């Protein structure tokens, strides 16, 4: 069988046949005139290569199948020779699926962020509500009377408990699994104060009990404010997000001075390192003595 006929019968190209020959998978005989002559079994070999590569195997990974067929093995022997190749290919696909899933999730998070980017510059100059709440350290906190100097109020949707799976839908919220942002504000708390912040608060719509547990577990040097009724969102028009039938805050950080919003950080594309962004802003805008 000549190369052109084999290509037509197996649904491939002359170029592909030349490649299979170069890697030693389907090797023709050379006639005296230099033409290539393929044995009838070559059609089965080429079809096998095409079927397996269509499933995601590389041409090299088809070698155990092709060599078994070329050696005259029956179907059961071919399957036995291919088991390890199948397992390896499946493991590779699972790894790739995991990578693609992570890429998709990251892109979806960026899409959600991009689609909800709003200019919150009009918040600057707004007065916080004259409302008293209780922080996790037991202190009464009035939004309008937070104290002299700059207050950093970072607002986040929720944090997950260690070892406890979140409900379906909550994982859609970027950073919901672990409290990296809360930890970073903890780890950089002293630097924030040195840079000019008078105090730091974290705020979310999670319950007081949950927030107290988190503050104790992470040994936070600053208090958290539970706002399950989203009173601050209602007063200032802050962005929220609904998931699993519940409404949560979207991430943003307010710098409050004298009960008035001085600066807004939104959006926050990298929650775990956001404290560094706030720190840089404080250094940049710190009044000169």
pLDDT reported for residue 109? 65
pLDDT at residue 281 tops 50: yes
pLDDT at residue 42 tops 70: yes
CATH of domain 3-96: 1.10.1660.10
Dist CA 166 CA 170 (whole Å): 6
For residues 200-227, one letter each, b for 16 or more C-beta atoms within 10 angstroms of the residue's C-beta and e for the rest, the string is bbbbbbbebebbbebbeeeebebbbbbb
pLDDT reported for residue 66? 85
Sheet holding 150-155, edge to edge: 224-226, 197-204, 150-155, 252-257, 260-265
**Which span out of 73-82, 114-123, 268-277 was modeled with the highest average pLDDT?**
268-277
pLDDT at residue 178 tops 60: no
Residue 65 CB neighbour total at 10 angstroms:
23
* Lowest model confidence (mean pLDDT) among 20-24, 52-56, 136-140: 52-56
The model's confidence at residue 76, banded by pLDDT at 50, 70 and 90, is low
Report CA dihedral (261, 138, 180, 232) to the nearest 10 degrees: -30
* CA-based nearest residue to 59, from 68, 44, 69, 48: 48
Dist CA 1 CA 144 (whole Å): 89
As its CATH architecture, domain 119-285 has 3-Layer(aba) Sandwich (3.40)
* Lowest model confidence (mean pLDDT) among 106-115, 157-166, 214-223, 260-269: 157-166
The model's confidence at residue 143, banded by pLDDT at 50, 70 and 90, is very high
The torsion angles phi and psi of 70, rounded to 5 degrees, stand at -65, -30
The model's confidence at residue 170, banded by pLDDT at 50, 70 and 90, is very low
Domain ranges of the chain: 3-96, 119-285
Higher-pLDDT residue of 112, 223: 223
The average pLDDT across 18-30 equals 91
pLDDT at residue 283 tops 50: yes
Q: Residue 250: exposed, middle, or buried by beta-carbon count in 10 A (0-12, 13-18, 19+)?
A: buried
pLDDT reported for residue 218? 92
The model's confidence at residue 175, banded by pLDDT at 50, 70 and 90, is very low
């Amino acid at each position: 069988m000549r190369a052109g006929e084999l290509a037509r019968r197996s649904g491939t190209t002359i170029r592909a046949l030349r490649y299979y020959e170069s890697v030693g998978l389907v090797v023709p005989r050379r006639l005296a005139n230099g033409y290539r002559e393929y044995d009838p079994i070559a059609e089965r070999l080429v079809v096998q290569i095409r079927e397996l590569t269509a499933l995601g195997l590389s041409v090299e990974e088809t070698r155990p199948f092709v060599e078994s067929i070329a050696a005259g093995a029956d179907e059961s022997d071919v399957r036995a020779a291919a088991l390890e190749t199948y397992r390896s290919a499946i493991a590779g696909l699972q790894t790739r699926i995991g990578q693609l899933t992570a890429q998709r999730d990251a892109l979806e998070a960026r899409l959600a962020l991009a689609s909800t980017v709003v200019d919150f510059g009009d918040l600057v100059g707004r007065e916080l509500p004259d409302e008293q709440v209780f922080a996790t350290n037991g202190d009464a906190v009035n939004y309008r009377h937070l104290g002299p100097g700059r207050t950093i109020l970072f607002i986040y949707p929720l944090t997950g408990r260690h070892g406890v799976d979140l409900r379906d839908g909550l994982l859609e919220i970027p950073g919901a699994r672990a409290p990296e942002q809360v930890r970073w504000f903890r780890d950089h708390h002293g630097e924030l104060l040195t840079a000019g912040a008078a105090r730091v608060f974290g705020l979310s719509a999670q319950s007081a009990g949950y927030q107290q547990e988190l503050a104790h577990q992470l040994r936070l040097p600053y208090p958290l404010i539970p706002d399950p009724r989203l009173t601050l969102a209602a007063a200032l028009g802050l962005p929220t997000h609904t998931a699993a039938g519940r409404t949560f805050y979207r991430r943003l950080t307010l710098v409050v001075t004298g009960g008035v919003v001085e600066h807004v950080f939104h959006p926050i594309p990298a929650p775990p390192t956001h404290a560094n962004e706030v720190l840089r802003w404080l250094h940049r805008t710190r009044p000169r003595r």
